[in-house]
Amino acid sequence: MIKINRDQFVFSMDKDNPPVAKAQSGDRVIFDLMDCFSDTVTSEADTISEIDFNKINPATGPLYIEEADVGDVLKVTIEKIQLDDYGAVMTAPGLNKYFSENISEEQTVICSINDDEGTFEFQGVTLPMNKHIGVIGTAPAGEGVTTGTPRMHGGNMDNTQIKEGSVLYLPVYTPGALLAMGDMHASMGDGEVWGSGVEVGGEVTVTVEILKDSTIPTPFVETETAYYAFGAADNMEEAVTIASDHLHRFIMEEAGLDFNQAGMLMSIKANLAPCQIVNPDVSFRFGIDKDILGKAKDFKG
């Protein structure tokens, strides 16, 4: 199987990045990921002010997929996520931007992780994980975009639904697609409101496939039970509008509904959620359950 080690990484998603490995549509690939601090935080004495901000959010890759042409859709099935055995939660003044009182002291908490049990230890207490991939994307169409930024090529989406068993659909803007990923979390709440999740490295096994003539509004996530459209921008209004438009379009096509039927269905049964609202660029998802969408096919207009 193709494996890309964690010493092969980029700090921007860029069509000019040379690929570090090649795959064909249908191949399984292992991406070995550093955590978002480039594995430099190993104790609670390592605080944010000591971090090299040139080394934030390394993304392993990029992977070139032979069949990928501009306009295709890259389907990434997340087969397995295996986390390293410890992670770090960090905060610092200014990171809690939606609270009235600012953080006065930076702090790091190291968490041991028990991936087999699906748990981690936070300050002596065992909590359940919701492990997922924070940064994953293809190369954008124009200029390169830093791996810390979410955009419509993916990137720093921080979407908790990009998890084991999920299928992620990404746009292809450049031949080969140039898939890269990093910034795993053992756990993160929607919004990431104090600035970090449980940041952790590990191994991700994916299957990559190229879809020709797909109209799916990328980036898009399919889980066992639901579909999620996605929107990212430098302001909440635009990010929410993109996610709303994308889910609306998907529902109309998938269930054969008209404009108002699809919109009213979203109003009564779809759920908008923040992915991450603490970085300069924010991201949202808009989801609907598969069983609801199945029933909607029988709507009588």
Strand 202-211 and strand 199-200: the pairing is unpaired
Which listed range, 28-36, 97-105, 113-121, 161-169, lies at the site for Ca ion (CB under 5 A)? 28-36
Interaction between residue 183 and Ca ion (CB under 5 A): yes
Distances (CA, A) of 16 to 11, 139, 151, 174, 207: 12, 9, 18, 9, 24
Interaction between residue 36 and Ca ion (CB under 5 A): yes
Least Å from the CB of residue 275 to Ca ion: 9
Least Å from the CB of residue 165 to Ca ion: 21
Among 19, 58, 61, 134, interactor with Ca ion by CB under 5 A? 134
Which listed range, 134-142, 208-216, 229-237, 249-257, lies at the site for Ca ion (CB under 5 A)? 134-142
Q: How far apart are CA 126 and CA 128, in angstroms?
A: 7
Least Å from the CB of residue 222 to Ca ion: 21
Interaction between residue 219 and Ca ion (CB under 5 A): no
Distance of CA 63 to the CA centre of its chain: 17
Q: How far apart are CA 230 and CA 235, in angstroms?
A: 14
Q: Which is nearer to Ca ion, 75 or 185 (CB)?
A: 185
Alpha-carbon torsion (108, 199, 282, 57), positive or negative: positive
Q: How many residues bind Ca ion (CB under 5 A)?
A: 5
Which listed range, 13-21, 34-42, 121-129, 244-252, lies at the site for Ca ion (CB under 5 A)? 34-42
Among 14, 32, 67, 158, interactor with Ca ion by CB under 5 A? 158
Amino acid present at 237: E
Which listed range, 58-66, 158-166, 237-245, 283-291, lies at the site for Ca ion (CB under 5 A)? 158-166
Among 60, 91, 138, 156, interactor with Ca ion by CB under 5 A? 156
Closest-by-Cβ residue to Ca ion is: 134
Q: How far apart are CA 258 and CA 138, in angstroms?
A: 32
- Neighbouring CB atoms inside 10 A of 137's CB total 32
Distance of CA 177 to the CA centre of its chain: 16
Q: Which residue matches tokens 């709440």?
A: 189
Residues found near Ca ion in the complex (CB under 5 A):
36, 134, 156, 158, 183
